[in-house]
Chains A and B, each alone.
Chain A
Amino acid sequence: MRDIQQLKEIARQLRIDIITMVYNAQSGHPGGSLSAIDILTVLYFGGFLRYDPTNPWWEDRDRFILSKGHASPALYSVLAKAGYIPHEELNTYRKTKGYASDGYSRLQGHPAWQGNRHGTPGAEASTGSLGQGLSIAIGQALSGKLANKNYRVYVMLGDGEVQEGMVWEAAMFAGHHKLDNLCAIVDNNNLQIDGDVRQIVNIHPLPDKYRAFGWHVIEIDGHDYNQIINAFEEATNTKGKPTMIIAHTVKGKGVSFMENNFKWHGVAPNKEQYEKAILELSAGGV
């Protein structure tokens, strides 16, 4: 059985990494990284994603694509914890110099594919320009089916991102082709840069929309570990349809003054705020 307390402890450490990266760079997106990190923790460390950090190009690996690429601190902290990159490399996030073969950083502002000159080992696509990850995931899922491989492809979108038209082109295609090796997650934290998603251009009811496009839809609390685990299990066991997990989350989760505040979408904390955040996250240890 999965040790939920252990997973929560990992997520707590990753939240500290996320805040530290954004603070060190004085740039980046803490809010959407914190809302996503519990789901990523379960995916990578709860036994769902099959991967080998010593062999990032292993053909049969499961793939995860962070379509909401601005949450790159979440991805980078996970890839460091998983062993793809050294933990100290997190200090090169959004910096000019780093660990790439030409001396530049491999932790670009938004993720670059591991085959890219400035890409991160373990990053399965270049993302950040919103709306593209689902189509890429479809391409990888189709390729796996064609080659009779049983790998699965996971992709995480933001709820604001769902406003992109390309997402719906992809949703239609995946439903039509019954891509059951594909699992998408919407990190539904209700906030986009300019404010409340429901007030800017409402995307809801999202479950009904995806069901209408031929998807199996699961709605969960994206910070409840039992619900996250059950959702990934249900997705794995769902045949004949792609699965969409709509995870209701809190933007900035884990740092009191960042929670549910869209102003923390893409702003770095100052020294005082950083220390307060670390204090809160340290006190939250198990």
Chain B
Amino acid sequence: MAVDIKSLPKKALRDTYGEVLVELGKIDPDMVVLDADLSESTRTHKFHEAFPDRFFNVGIAEQNLIGIAAGLAYTGRTVYASSFAIFLSGRPWEIIRQQIAYNKLNVKLVASHGGVSVGQDGASHQMNEDISLMRTLPNMNVIVPADSVEMEKVLKKIHWIKEPFYVRMSREKFPIILPADYEFELGKGYVLKEGNDVSVIACGVMVSMALQAAYELEEEGIDVEVINMSSIKPIDRELIVKTAQKTKAVVTSEEHSIIGGLGSAVAEVLSEECPTILVRHGVEDRFGISGPAWEVMEELGLSVEGLKKKIKQALDKKSKC
């Protein structure tokens, strides 16, 4: 059975974010939302329109953004702070560490424009290191939803968990691949397709590409297991070991550097629990380039074809090992 991901309905996660913020705002009067002059792009402007008193635009000042978010959280409020991934996680990283992480504050850092699919803005705006930066912080949870269905489930789940979260979205519309009754569980991966030859553990937009690659490779007689690992921290150690024991070859796939992100997180688990052939698919140790989103993705190998190559590499290594 072949599925063309291009034919699936698509939605940008940030559109869902804006809608869900308003829903949550109606039921949680203590909630506040902050942005740093990118509210139309992150879609927090939806919350601004609905609840003008509970929205603060701090201007182009991301350090102050995090400091104010912390101050609000110290008084017991649930706080959302948004900007592009590069400015939300990179610029104020040390303040996130000292305030949000160290004190385990109830602040949800929701980043848009993660990864190279930011496209034409170029390398300066393409954040490929944020999962790495956030994952290393004690107390920080890191989530990279695969589609807008999952985005909604994630927000509605973590809103009520009084801990720090980093939720990472990309700019572009993602194909909707998860069923409407899908339930997100913190620390759990989700098997989208079972397979026996090789496992692909992916997050974000690469989950839909992994599904496409799996169906295309099925025609070549390769049986791929596809796992959505949206919860990168905490990560589903049990599922990683289980799939590795079954297929004995793992490929990780992410719109992020192959250093420090999902690939590294999976490598840590496998090295400790069940050493297995591992190929990391993502942005190599390099900066991106300007261009239309999907062209840049393609150039950097973040495509179905690019992933299929990595899957075949993993199978090749497995046969020689």
Binding site for B on A (CB under 8 A): 112-113, 115-116, 119, 124-126, 128-129, 131-132, 134-144, 146-147, 165-166, 169-170, 172-173
Asked if B54 and A146 make an inter-chain contact with CB atoms under 8 angstroms apart, the answer reads yes
Q: How far is the CA of A135 from the CA of B59 in the complex (A)?
A: 13
Residue of B nearest to A119 (CB): B103
Q: Is the interface of A mostly helix, strand, loop or mixed?
A: helix
Interface assignment of B72: CB less than 8 Å from any CB of chain A: yes
**Assembly CA distance A139 to B75 (angstroms):** 8
Are B103 and A169 in contact, with the CB atoms below 8 A?
no
Q: How far is the CA of A126 from the CA of B71 in the complex (A)?
A: 10
**How far apart sit A124 and B103, CA to CA, in the bound complex (Å)?**
11
Question: Can you give 9 contacting A-B residue pairs, CB < 8 Å?
Answer: A128-B98, A135-B67, A135-B70, A139-B67, A142-B68, A169-B59, A170-B64, A172-B59, A173-B58
Which of chain A's residues have a CB closer than 8 A to the CB of B63?
A: 131-132, 135, 165-166, 169
A173, B64: Cβ atoms closer than 8 Å: yes
Kindly provide the distance from the CB of B66 to the nearest chain A CB, expressed in whole angstroms. 8
A126-B99, A166-B95, A173-B58 given; A136·B64 CB < 8 A: no
- CB-CB under 8 A from B98, the residues of chain A are 126, 128-129, 132
Q: Is the CB of B71 within 8 A of A166?
A: no
Q: What's the minimum C-beta distance from A161 to chain B, rounded to whole angstroms?
A: 13
CB distance from A31 to the nearest CB of B (A): 23
Chain B's interface: helix, strand, loop or mixed, by majority? helix
Q: With A170-B64, A172-B59 known to touch, is A125 a contact of B74 (CB < 8 Å)? A: yes
Residues of A within 8 A of B64 (CB): 135, 138, 166, 169-170, 173
Count of chain B residues with a beta carbon within 8 Å of a chain A beta carbon: 27
**Does A142 contact B71, Cβ atoms closer than 8 Å?**
yes
Distance between Cα atoms of A139 and B107 in the complex (Å): 12
Knowing A136-B70, A136-B74 are in contact, say whether A126-B59 is a contact too (CB < 8 A).
Answer: no
Cβ–Cβ contact A112 & B102, under 8 A: yes
B281 within 8 A of A: no
* 7 residue pairs, one from A and one from B, having the closest CB atoms: A139-B71, A135-B67, A169-B64, A169-B61, A143-B75, A166-B63, A136-B71
Q: Which of A112, A128, A139 contacts B69 (CB 8 A)?
A: A139
Tell me the bound Cα distance from A125 to B104 in angstroms.
Answer: 12
Q: A126-B102, A129-B98 are in contact. Are A144 and B75 (CB under 8 A)?
A: yes
Please, which residue of chain B has its CB at the minimum distance from the CB of A117? B104
B297 in contact (CB, < 8 A): no
